[in-house]
Structure 1
Amino acid sequence: MVKKDIIVVGGGAAGFFAAINIAQQAPRLKVAIIERGKQVLTKVKVSGGGRCNVTHAEFVPTDLVQNYPRGERELLGPFHQFMTGDTMAWFEERGVQLKIEDDGRVFPVSNSSQTIIDCFLDEAKKYNVEVLYSHSLKALEHERGLFQLETTQGAFSAKKIVIATGSNTKIWTLLEGLGHTVSKPVPSLFTFKINDERLKDIPGVVAEDVTVKILGTHLCSEGPLLITHWGMSAPAILKLSAFGAIEIAEKGYHFQIEVNFIKQSLTDCLDQLKSFKQQIAKKTLFASSPFNLPKRLWHKLVLAANISPEARWADVNKVQTEALAIELTQAVFNVAGKTTFKEEFVTAGGICLKEVNFKTFESKCVAGLYFAGEVMDVDAITGGFNFQNAWTGAYIVSQNIAG
């Protein structure tokens, strides 16, 4: 049996961040990362389309936590200890130049996730963190103040362990064996499958600022909406999928959404349409998109209101005007399934948050057992927020273990 002081389970972002910071602050400790795969940092590799969305430029803790459907209350204190500015400083102190894009996302100037991966591997080597590949954890026990770990490559013992495996059902089962409770995992960030004539033949069209509601619930989001080959995506949809992950799962991913493409009331929209009938009476509706909507989308909504492509504004009757106003402000779509957002996969679910001490990220059930990242029931919307949760938790874990 191989003895270590600290074993980090999981060779991802949270695992490396925890291990490096522990080893740097307490060089006397023997720190090892055990990773089930043949490669490490695979999620970092694909994040942000291969550029690695390191974090998000939100520097106020009370605002930052609002991006976490699960974990908002629990992360407020930790974000006061270590958050976005600290993350950026950590990487920049190690030679990684970062940039903030217009939407607030933070990337390496290199536009390559390999820059982040190389930084982690170099730091791990510098501080003698041992990285063990192809070590899938098979058993985990805690006896007499020591953790006993059995992997596919051998047995280990450690005084303290950090679980940073992300969403992993096998690990959750082992942790249940130690007395923890696991909230059932369900997909979080995903796009909506919609088969609707109004969306056909216009993939790639973006409505810049819409409101989307899930009918029969309180769930609502705003932002850009992207029409795809299979339905709808972009922040307005992804935020809804994150905050509504559990309710949507309970509906079997079949439900209705209402889209307000122009963020106006039905009454205001009707008034504006009547004004157009007077102001541009001789123009065809197809020739003018007065609400600043993409032309292809505008054409689809006009047709959905039973209005001919050749119709002039003066020709539109009361019924058609009302129908067009409804299409613009209360368009209902049937959602019949989901798809994963790019190569990234986020789940809602994990270790029950009541069983974690968020001052230290230590288990309340087992002394010496720590958590970092999505192994807990914490998840966020897209934009670098899930990584920030990983950095914060891992750093606080390292402070408590090394101290």
Structure 2
Amino acid sequence: MRHVIDAHQACGVEHLDDARAVFQGDRSRDHAFTGLIQLYNRRNVLTTPVPVGISGGPLGSLGILNSLQLYAQVIEPPSYVCGPTGSTFYSAAVRIKLKLDLLTLAPVTDTLVGLGLLQSASIGIGRLDVYADVARGQGSLAAVNAAAKAVTLQVAPGVADLYIGKIDDGVFFSRSPIRDSDVDFGAIGNLQATLVLGLASVNIPLEVKSIVRAQAPFSTSVTMSGNFPQTRTVSSSTMFVTNAANSLVTNLKFRDMPGLGLLQGVVQPLVVTLVTKVVSPLLAPVLSGVADPLLKLLGIGLGEMVVTVEGICQTCDDFKLTKAADKSAALPGATITYTITFENTGTTTLGNLKVSDPTPAYTTYVDSNCGSMPAGLSCTVASKPEVGATGKVEWGVTGTLAPGATGSVSVSVKVQ
């Protein structure tokens, strides 16, 4: 994780003359969406046992969205690996649900009334549930050239399956694969109409579902050289979001509307056409403006995988770090303090340590400090951003860290 340590310290040495590397699926932004997703344990498995409320954001400014509720579940945590050529790593497998409260959309229904079968008709669409289920991306260390300070990786982003409709919470929060049979029709609005015959009024629920299964992407070769750490985003396709939105529309299915009685065969196809035309423009902004940015806070994206190479080192020592926040939820303007605890879990004394941590996404720097240090170690804040700015904090730790010894540092940030 970029917020942990640089490569030298991950390896426990200062030398850069052997063919090994520290690399990972990016976990630098696990404390996702301004600290509102809870970080449960040291394996960085996240979940939202209760939904997180978020304002309409960019979609609200487009006149599309009032607000949304976010549900998130990390099915599998990402990996952080130090090893030789052939070592493998992977990004997190993440599942999110976006429960969208839309500004009520009311398509023009002249074509329905024009049939002569309905005296009046109105359609209101006010909600939509969108799911993204992103499998873990895979990668391997293909080559390391210590002399040239170059690392070559083979990276394949995770498959992203998308759904519209309703998935039972018991299925969503499990770690089992989502099957087609798990996706039910979900309510998005209503058709209210008065029939010409008998002037009877009907209120027909509009329920839809859509399933898009992505194809497994090909592996891409990525080479990084020069100064480390370096981060790259590997994409399976620049058109992934657009193609995914189009596929959701193409696969959109409507539950039958028996409440229309004998008029169903004539009226329902027109209703489907009207609703599809209204829903279609929503999907690309929802995926690109909400779903994809949320996933990127976890180091992945729709059709993307973010990989960080921390550096090249001689050996891989057992230097363990954990990062914990002082609160599980925070609103804009609040301060979050992260404590980074380090431990020598190996049998060799470690020296020349340096801990670094960038400000998380959507936060600015407030303060940083050294915490408790074991005997034989001293700590200073070597570099830091200006208050209110973003950037990386570095702590210089001098002395040696004995096997089993632990220490800590902290950084405080303000949520934007």
Same-fold call, TM > 0.5?
no
Q: Whose strand proportion is higher, 1 or 2? A: 2
TM-score when scaled to structure 1? 0.25
Q: Whose helix proportion is higher, 1 or 2? A: 1
TM-score when scaled to structure 2? 0.24
